[in-house]
Structure 1
Amino acid sequence: GGDEFVVLLPGLEHDHDALTVAGTLVERAREKIEVKGHACNVGCSVGISFYPNDADEPARLVELADQAMYLAKHDGSGSVRLFGRELPDHPIPARRYLKPVP
């Protein structure tokens, strides 16, 4: 199981910039941490969508990034997928929408 979160990066315009940030997130998530004397291994998969190229509505951007993330999960932990770059047409599990932070 796992938790999902969104990272907003204003000003990124190119795939390679987003991939660099995503790669750093993946690497940092892989670092072993200790909690109350127990070693914890964490991994993550990343899905990316761009405003306004992929969508111009926030909910749609999250939905598209979520679709890419599910494909990244299918590729294995530590994978990154950009929406619209060789995404097959198949059903994606329903997502749980996040509530805005007050």
Structure 2
Amino acid sequence: MKSAYDLALERLEEQGIARPRDEGLSPEVRAQIAELRNQSEAKLAELEILFRDSLARIADPSERAQAEAEYAEDRRRIEARRDRDIERLRSRS
């Protein structure tokens, strides 16, 4: 029985699309990437906790909207940095 991944690769080949290349990341690079992801998840969790706490104390709708916009921007910044750092690690290996 083939895995869903193998079936998807076969469908891609039938459509004339080349198989994705194996990046062949070393175990050290994989560990570094996992650590980056864990750190980012921790930062995002901390940010969400602080955001929810501050949101509970804000009654003014315009201030709430501003806080939500700042939270979304902070989230995007953390995620972008995580993605940039992971891509940097992958390109080095």
Same fold by TM-score greater than 0.5: no
More strand by share: 1
TM-score by length of 1: 0.28
- More helix per residue: 2
